[in-house]
Structure 1
Amino acid sequence: MEHSLFRYIVRHSLRQQIVLLIMTVASFPFLYIFLDLPKIILNEAIQGKDFPKTFFGFNFDQMEYLIVLCGIFLLLVIVNQAFKYIINVYKGLLGERMLRRLRYDLFMRVLRFPLPHFRRTSAGETIPMITSEVEPLGGYVAEAIATPAYQGGTLLTILAFLFIQDPLMGLAAVSLYPIQIYLIPKLQRKVNNLGKTRVRLMRKVSDRIGETIGGIQEIRSNDTAAYELADFSDRMNGVFKVRYEIYIRKFFIKFLNNFISQLGPFFFFAIGGWLVIRGELSVGALVAVLSAYKELYAPWKELLAYYQMKEDARIKYEQVVAQFEPAGMVEAERLLNDPAAIEPFTGEVVLSNVRLADEGEIQLLDGVSLHLPLDSHTAIVGGAGSGKHELALTLARLADPQSGRITIGGKDLATLPDAVVGRRIAFVGSSTAFFNMSLADNLLYGLKHRPLTPRELDDESRPIWERDLNEAKRSGNCEYDVRADWIDYEAVGGKGTEAVERRLVEVLKIVRLDEDVFALGLRGRLDPAAEPERAERVLKGRETFHQALADEGLGKLVEPFEVDRWNDNASVAENLLFGAPRGDGEDLETLTEHPFVAEVLSEGGLDADLVEAGRRIAATMIELFADLPADHEFFEQYSFISSEDLPVYQVLLNRIEREGVGTLDAQERRRLAGLAFRLIPARHRLDVLDDRVRDRMLTARRRLMDNSPDDLKGRIEFFDRTKYHAQSSIQDNILFGRVVYGQAQARGRVGQKLAQVVDDAGLRDMVMVVGLSFHVGSGGSRLSNAQRQKAAIARALLKRPDMMVLSEPTSAVDALEQVEIIERLREAMTGRAIVWSVQRPVLARSFDRVVVMQGGRVVQSGTPDEVDIDGSAYRRLVGDA
């Protein structure tokens, strides 16, 4: 990457800069005529005497001549502004393209950083450099050549005009410029140095904020908030002092510029007036000169601003480039080279005298030499600081040794492109990054190397795609289509969605993540319009499930939804509307506020019943929970009202007691009715709705289902035993009812029966596929540590690598499950290499070979029987464990 910003600009935008320069130079003749025209209007059209005048072969009297000249003046205004508009738009386009290129170049360099660099530099420092710090550079790139050319050319044109009118007036105009040219750079240099300091300080502030967010748990648990605030205040004080000094110096520069510019009219009035009085200069020429001098200040001011911008951009660019050139960067060719054919690894992995040291030159691997056959499974064991983790990183080429050599099948690992290493070797550590997308997308991430199948484009979208592709080319960005099909189906073992899903389910079972994903799938949703066959299978499962409950005498555990029956285990809102909201983020209580629902409730007299039920619920809640602390678990489990809202309802009940329910306004009545709508009779057992109210509620339900207006029907999906409900989970679709409250172990027994029915109907894999659409959250935060580790192993296994390198990948997994996962993974990787840095040395006994590390050296190597002998390093490790 170019170290000089100007060279970077010339290298990537020379042609566009030349186009800007040509347009700029082409505008100067029109500018000169525009400056000279006021003098002609005054001297010839307004004060002239010899009329009619001939102009372009036509004769004009005085008024006609004035109108023609004014018309030309207006035309020149349009022409000059059109030049400015076209130049500015082109500059904006060029600036955005170059900014896009620069950010792309910086991001690609991040991908090339050596891994140890990320231990020294946090994301809090790197992210602002790519996003906010380089933002001004885009503006400067567009101005780099065009602005000094345009503004300098404008300045010279105006000065030429002044000197042509009178040399003395021209000298008066330029007399003060040398002072500014001498002083401004000296003052600006100090401002630039302060700007560098400000940028460095703000990076450290940004880094500290990132550390604080990451360590918020430690801050809260150790009561160090006051210390953190003091530290932040101290850092901001340093920033404040630098910025204040910048303001003082910057505005002094501005004061100096404005003062000198205001001296110009003094010279013009004095010298110009003297020349007019002596008859050596016409009034029209003086007016034209004054007008031209007024125009002179604008380009000079722009040139000064450009100088400040240039220095600021130069500093930012140099600082950014320095941060993005750490030692040991990966070559771009190694990162992006894509061989036509990638052959599987064969033979063995050979490490010859491999040495690895950290930034402090502490030896992590010290002369490691090993032979690892690619058809065997090797366990690496060792204590803390033994080098076993570093050996795993080196084998996966995630750490580059300082000396020594690693070959695979005779090929030097260091020279192979990432396209080979990333597809033939898989690495799994104890902590793995997950992206904020679905579980399936995260699992398939290791299969997305290059786009293999272009996306299908219709006549409407193709021009947009081609335009976007051309912009990517002009900006030097990647030309791959991120919306194409990137999945490596050869690694999957079959092409198409079904093959991918089968493979995903297969690896989930190997790593024992299938039950978790199955549970996620039951809580997930299916789109019946997009997947009608699967929805139909769920409906068949619904009938099978209810029939199985009836056959086994378990029907009392689930109360199904029936259109003519009240459901004690569903909420009052569900009983009234008998359906689920169609829209995401909408709830049933919101739908109860629809005007038609309110009308039906009012006509049935139910509005008063619901308000009264809400009043009784509020009184009961206040009586039960008023004396409990705000964070008591009972609020979460049983209360309709949060601890913060209890006083509000207390005030409301006191007013009802004094003045009666009739004094409540519409909002207060809705608040009380809302409590009644959340009531689940069987769960809460408050007995605030009698049979008479329930019967009228069923009547209101029927009217809502039959007569609701289209806008309300479009927002509710009414329960129908013959239909799949898109907004309900798969589990709720199969249950088509509610588990009965109060029955011993009802949920567990229903869950077992539901799982059995799903298995018998052959729906398990389908449900797991739905579970794969679960969004894992930022960094996989919605998954447990054990789930993330299992998913990481599954992602590596999906690639079908020739060698899988693992470093304590199951540290969060239950001990018995660790053994099972090792057995299953070894079976799945039969004939291919596994190198596993195990957490517990005893686990190594099930591997083909064992490597014992100590102090960065290999102290034992061989079969489990060969290393597990009296007094051996391995035996000591097992004994210590």
Structure 2
Amino acid sequence: MVDQDDFPRIDRSIYRYVLRHTWRGQAFLLLLTVVTMPLVYVSLEIPKRIVNQAIGGTDLPRALFGFEISQIEFLMLLSVAFLLAVILTGGLKYYLNVFKGVLGERMLRRFRFDLYARILRFPAAHIRKTPSAELIPMITAETEPLGGLIGDAIAAPAFQGALLLTYLSFIFQQDFWLGVASIALYPPQMILIPRLQAKVNALSRARVQNVRKLAGHIGETVDGVVDIHANDAGRFERAKTSSYLGRIFDIREEIYRRKFFIKFLNNFLAQVTPFFFFAIGGYLVIQGDVSLGALVAVLAAYKDIGPPWKELLKFYQVFEDTKVKYLQVAEQFEPANMIRASLLESQESVGQLTGPLVGRNVSTDPDDGIGLVANVSFELDLNRHVALVGKPGSGTGDVSKIAARLAWPLSGEVMMGTRNWSETPEAITGRRVAWVGSSSHIFAGTLAHNLYYGLMMAPQPDGVQELDSTQRRHRREAVASGNSLDDPEGNWLSATAGGEKHPETTTDRVGDVLKATELWEDVYRLGLGARIQQFSMSAEVREKILAARKQLSASRGDLQQFDRDRYDPNLTVAENILFGYAVDSEFSQERLPGNDIVSAVLRETDLFDAFLLMGYRVAQAMTEIFSGLQPDDELLQRFSLVTGEDLENFERILRNCPREDLPALTALTDTDQQLLRGVVFRLIPAQHRLGIIDAEVQERLLAARNRLFEKLGSDNPSVVFFDPNEICPALSVEGNILFGSIPYGKPREREAISRAIDDLVIAEGLGDYLIALGLSREVGAAGNRLSSVQRQKLAFARALLKEPDLLVVDQALMIFDAQLQSRMLDSIRQLMSGRGVLWVLESPAMVTGFDEVWVMQSGKIIERGKPTELASSNSELQRLIAMT
């Protein structure tokens, strides 16, 4: 399983890692540094010549390159030369800094990719012991400083060191003793700072470890928040969090003290040096040993010495801190027993497995995270269905993992035909064997993405395609960063089991799998409830939906379809006025009461003040009905017209206006008036039955609806109005067929209409389109938009769609009820007819129909045979069945 030559360790020296992958870039940065230094020296020399020769010189005019120039011309020439030197130096520094940044980001990208690739090679035991909340910040936050350091690893000390040497050589050229004075305090700094920094490094290591523990604690809290509330353990968990934060605070406080003492020491020593310049330099100028221009140039050069020296010290501190993080991250990504790279990266051609799968004296190590299996031998033909049963802890799940090549034996051997199963690459095991556990993971994305996940092993060739400039650049950067060149947006579906991507079709194989796992109905309902605006639709499908709408309207007299000339009591007042779908949020139901256009329409139809009076009546009714209830009371929430906060405001308004008096109500604040009008917009006459929206009010609301339609126009981009001859993109497929409302309080009618819609979908041939729509629905993170039963059905469907030679199931029916367990077991085994199945059953009573039964106890297979043979004897299987 592990071979260190096959999977080399991460370099323990960050410099070795940097040079291994970026030595060409680092060499180029050094070349740029060498080119920059003469320009820096020139930019120091020219000011000296300007002061001593162009301004203070006496031998002017003079000849230059055969031309005689005056003092002013000489001054201008040197000034322009100085400006050019500054521009060239700045330009080279800019290019150098950008190149360093890109080089660093490439290396950071490579390092993160390497770390992620290593996660895929972690043994299962290490994955279980390492919380994801600790791994995530290691790859993201903890590696972030590496980007800046990698670009600077060679270039920064080289560039800043060269700058420092250039400035010092200039100072020494002016006067030896001034040069000595400029470096007199460097040796103490070079001795003291590493010693002080060593303690800071130790504190940094402790900080990183404690931050990881805090991350793990936070992740555990998120995963276990329900149990925390169920056990009233919030105070204890807050205390633990406070303890972690306290340790981090103490460590950081100590880091700050030591870190800023180093900075204070550096600054203090840097400020002492000018004393020598003023004292010694001034004395030498007075004695005539040094010119004033030279002293000025030396002071300017020393001023420029400070930044590179500080940058070198800063680089040293950052390097030491980053080295600590690099080493700690590297250590965490090299656990024992890592899976060999060759097993995961091999693209060996896939052929049908012939078997049999044979295990000889297989034993496992409990430290690997699986139970103890001791000297187990077995043989499984790939045309037989074997049931594996045993008490909890008997080793059934561990044998199933070994069979699926998800665990490796400590001793013994497992063979698939003539092939060593432990040495078989994942390109074969992952394609020809399917595994379903009791908690299979569902990935973020669509249902289709998860269903076809078992067929997305490698990108499929789509012919020769010309890459555009952006794609070529991305490809070059991927190569430079050692990343994958595969495009995740390309076609990854293997052609071996179908799976066309057309949004309105689905393959027969997918249909068989969805029906065998009883996922068809779930996917169909998801498609039926999908909003059309999120998906493409052909003209043919559009016509079929409209035809189904007309047939439903004709066949169901109890259905009130949307009619512009009729008020619908099953909709809110807001929905009746708008009579369409708000594209612009200004026309959403929540914001409609404050919409200026709607307010103008209400005034024109004499409803503006009427809404205020009706809102007052609703407020009276609500306070009478719900007086004394808590804001979170279930009855209040179920009524859904007002909130607890609304009730409090209504009570205040009623105290201020004890009678229904329009002048008093219009004197209320704008906020209170909008609150009263807003509750009217939420009224549903058929549900709330307050008698406020009577026939007269309904007629006026219809007038307001038509007036709003006239104001906005049928093609207004803010609203899509209901049209019986058009598809409404904001409605679901079911909503478009229904195109109306079902009366409140009549569940039988609702069920009958639902059945009628199903019949029309079949009659119009919309089934495949709805399945495709359902498969296009997002499942959320870890499938949280699906029920637990739907997630497990999807896991089975994913496994079966691969058409595996061997299906291994480990108690994956546990979440289903007994009837669904029985149906799923039969239908899946029927679909796997003629191929191998190893099934760890939830109950030994489910073994009927299997070709063979293996009974395990204490890590050994103690009994095997046909179910009928074991059922007729005094067997361990019979004892297990009797215990259930």
Q: Does 142-151 or 685-694 show the bigger shift?
A: 685-694
Q: Please state if 1:700 is matched with 2:704.
A: yes
1:806 and 1:152, CA in 2 relative to 1: closer, same or farther beyond 3 A? same
C-alpha offsets along residues 258-297 of structure 1, whole Å, 9 cap, x if unaligned? 1111111111111111111111111111111111111111
Aligned to 1:687: 691
Is the contact between residue 492 and residue 798 of structure 1 (CA under 8 Å) also seen in structure 2? Answer: no
1:850 to 844, 853, 858: 853
2:812 to 809, 820, 831: 809
1:592 and 1:647, CA in 2 relative to 1: closer, same or farther beyond 3 A? closer
1:495 and 1:705, CA in 2 relative to 1: closer, same or farther beyond 3 A? closer
Aligned to 1:768: 771
| Structure 1 residue 772: Cα displacement | 1.9
Looking at structure 2, the residues matched to 59 and 619 of structure 1 have their Cα atoms a distance apart, in angstroms, of 103
Aligned to 2:5: none
2:227 to 209, 218, 231: 218
Aligned to 1:401: 409
C-alpha offsets along residues 148-184 of structure 1, whole Å, 9 cap, x if unaligned? 1101111111111111111111111111111111111
Q: Please state if 1:831 is matched with 2:840.
A: no
C-alpha offsets along residues 555-606 of structure 1, whole Å, 9 cap, x if unaligned? 22x2111121111122212221221224699734435644333222211111
1:539 to 540, 546, 552: 546
TM-score (norm 2): 0.95
Instruction: Write the letter of the residue equivalent to 2:678.
Output: G
Q: Does 749-758 or 24-33 show the bigger shift?
A: 749-758
Instruction: Write the letter of the residue equivalent to 1:644.
Output: E
Q: Please state if 1:313 is matched with 2:317.
A: no
Q: Does 364-373 or 751-760 show the bigger shift?
A: 751-760
Q: Which structure 2 residue ranges, 5 or more long, are not aligned?
A: 1-9
Q: Does 128-137 or 401-410 show the bigger shift?
A: 401-410
C-alpha offsets along residues 619-654 of structure 1, whole Å, 9 cap, x if unaligned? 211211121222222222214111133212222333
Instruction: Write the letter of the residue equivalent to 2:600.
Output: E
Is the contact between residue 593 and residue 674 of structure 2 (CA under 8 Å) also seen in structure 1? Answer: no
Looking at structure 2, the residues matched to 375 and 835 of structure 1 have their Cα atoms a distance apart, in angstroms, of 11
| Structure 1 residue 238: Cα displacement | 1.4
Instruction: Write the letter of the residue equivalent to 1:827.
Output: Q
Q: Please state if 1:383 is matched with 2:391.
A: yes
Aligned to 1:552: none
| Structure 1 residue 815: Cα displacement | 0.5
Q: Please state if 1:342 is matched with 2:350.
A: yes
Aligned to 2:159: 150
| Structure 1 residue 331: Cα displacement | 1.6
C-alpha offsets along residues 225-249 of structure 1, whole Å, 9 cap, x if unaligned? 1111111112222111111111111
Looking at structure 2, the residues matched to 330 and 338 of structure 1 have their Cα atoms a distance apart, in angstroms, of 16
| Structure 1 residue 452: Cα displacement | 0.6
SS in 2 for 1:369: strand
2:422 to 389, 397, 414: 414
1:672 to 672, 676, 689: 676
Looking at structure 2, the residues matched to 504 and 583 of structure 1 have their Cα atoms a distance apart, in angstroms, of 39
C-alpha offsets along residues 824-880 of structure 1, whole Å, 9 cap, x if unaligned? 111111111111101011111221111111111101112112322433111111111
Q: Does 101-110 or 69-78 show the bigger shift?
A: 69-78
Aligned to 1:740: 743
Instruction: Write the letter of the residue equivalent to 2:546.
Output: L
Looking at structure 2, the residues matched to 859 and 543 of structure 1 have their Cα atoms a distance apart, in angstroms, of 66
SS in 1 for 2:412: strand
1:777-816 equivalence runs, <5 A: 777-816=780-819
Aligned to 1:876: 879
Is the contact between residue 546 and residue 727 of structure 2 (CA under 8 Å) also seen in structure 1? Answer: yes
1:227 to 211, 232, 236: 236
SS in 2 for 1:644: helix
Q: Please state if 1:503 is matched with 2:491.
A: no
Is the contact between residue 536 and residue 724 of structure 1 (CA under 8 Å) also seen in structure 2? Answer: no
1:294 and 1:455, CA in 2 relative to 1: closer, same or farther beyond 3 A? farther
2:310 to 272, 287, 301: 301
Instruction: Write the letter of the residue equivalent to 2:60.
Output: F
SS in 2 for 1:112: coil
Report % sequence identity.
42
Aligned to 1:653: 654
Instruction: Write the letter of the residue equivalent to 2:452.
Output: L
| Structure 1 residue 664: Cα displacement | 3.1
Q: Does 752-761 or 619-628 show the bigger shift?
A: 752-761
Instruction: Write the letter of the residue equivalent to 1:305.
Output: K
- When the two structures are aligned, how many residues end up with a matched partner? 871
SS in 1 for 2:444: coil
Q: Please state if 1:568 is matched with 2:569.
A: yes
Looking at structure 2, the residues matched to 509 and 588 of structure 1 have their Cα atoms a distance apart, in angstroms, of 40
Aligned to 1:663: 667
Looking at structure 2, the residues matched to 495 and 437 of structure 1 have their Cα atoms a distance apart, in angstroms, of 15
Looking at structure 2, the residues matched to 692 and 604 of structure 1 have their Cα atoms a distance apart, in angstroms, of 12
Q: Please state if 1:840 is matched with 2:847.
A: no
Looking at structure 1, the residues matched to 552 and 450 of structure 2 have their Cα atoms a distance apart, in angstroms, of 33
Instruction: Write the letter of the residue equivalent to 2:642.
Output: I
Q: Please state if 1:717 is matched with 2:720.
A: yes
1:355 and 1:607, CA in 2 relative to 1: closer, same or farther beyond 3 A? same
Is the contact between residue 125 and residue 369 of structure 2 (CA under 8 Å) also seen in structure 1? Answer: no
C-alpha offsets along residues 357-391 of structure 1, whole Å, 9 cap, x if unaligned? 22179861111111111011111101110111111
1:752 to 745, 752, 755: 755
Is the contact between residue 455 and residue 484 of structure 1 (CA under 8 Å) also seen in structure 2? Answer: no
1:242 to 251, 274, 282: 251
Aligned to 2:448: 440
Q: Please state if 1:465 is matched with 2:471.
A: yes
Q: Which structure 1 residue ranges, 5 or more long, are not aligned?
A: 550-554
Instruction: Write the letter of the residue equivalent to 2:415.
Output: T
Looking at structure 1, the residues matched to 465 and 240 of structure 2 have their Cα atoms a distance apart, in angstroms, of 55
Looking at structure 1, the residues matched to 585 and 800 of structure 2 have their Cα atoms a distance apart, in angstroms, of 35
Looking at structure 1, the residues matched to 369 and 590 of structure 2 have their Cα atoms a distance apart, in angstroms, of 65
Looking at structure 2, the residues matched to 57 and 501 of structure 1 have their Cα atoms a distance apart, in angstroms, of 88
Looking at structure 2, the residues matched to 622 and 736 of structure 1 have their Cα atoms a distance apart, in angstroms, of 35
Aligned to 2:481: 475
Looking at structure 2, the residues matched to 707 and 276 of structure 1 have their Cα atoms a distance apart, in angstroms, of 89
SS in 2 for 1:486: coil
Q: Does 645-654 or 35-44 show the bigger shift?
A: 645-654
Aligned to 1:489: 495
SS in 2 for 1:812: coil
1:609 and 1:455, CA in 2 relative to 1: closer, same or farther beyond 3 A? farther
Instruction: Write the letter of the residue equivalent to 1:302.
Output: E
1:606 and 1:497, CA in 2 relative to 1: closer, same or farther beyond 3 A? closer
Looking at structure 1, the residues matched to 510 and 609 of structure 2 have their Cα atoms a distance apart, in angstroms, of 55
| Structure 1 residue 16: Cα displacement | 0.5
Looking at structure 2, the residues matched to 9 and 399 of structure 1 have their Cα atoms a distance apart, in angstroms, of 35
Is the contact between residue 157 and residue 312 of structure 2 (CA under 8 Å) also seen in structure 1? Answer: yes
Instruction: Write the letter of the residue equivalent to 2:438.
Output: S
Looking at structure 2, the residues matched to 504 and 670 of structure 1 have their Cα atoms a distance apart, in angstroms, of 53
Is the contact between residue 492 and residue 499 of structure 1 (CA under 8 Å) also seen in structure 2? Answer: no
TM-score (norm 1): 0.96
Looking at structure 1, the residues matched to 32 and 267 of structure 2 have their Cα atoms a distance apart, in angstroms, of 30
Aligned to 1:355: 363
1:544 and 1:493, CA in 2 relative to 1: closer, same or farther beyond 3 A? same
1:360 and 1:491, CA in 2 relative to 1: closer, same or farther beyond 3 A? closer
Looking at structure 1, the residues matched to 596 and 63 of structure 2 have their Cα atoms a distance apart, in angstroms, of 80
SS in 2 for 1:113: coil
Aligned to 2:267: 258
1:195 and 1:803, CA in 2 relative to 1: closer, same or farther beyond 3 A? same
Is the contact between residue 453 and residue 484 of structure 1 (CA under 8 Å) also seen in structure 2? Answer: no
Looking at structure 1, the residues matched to 862 and 588 of structure 2 have their Cα atoms a distance apart, in angstroms, of 65
| Structure 1 residue 716: Cα displacement | 1.8
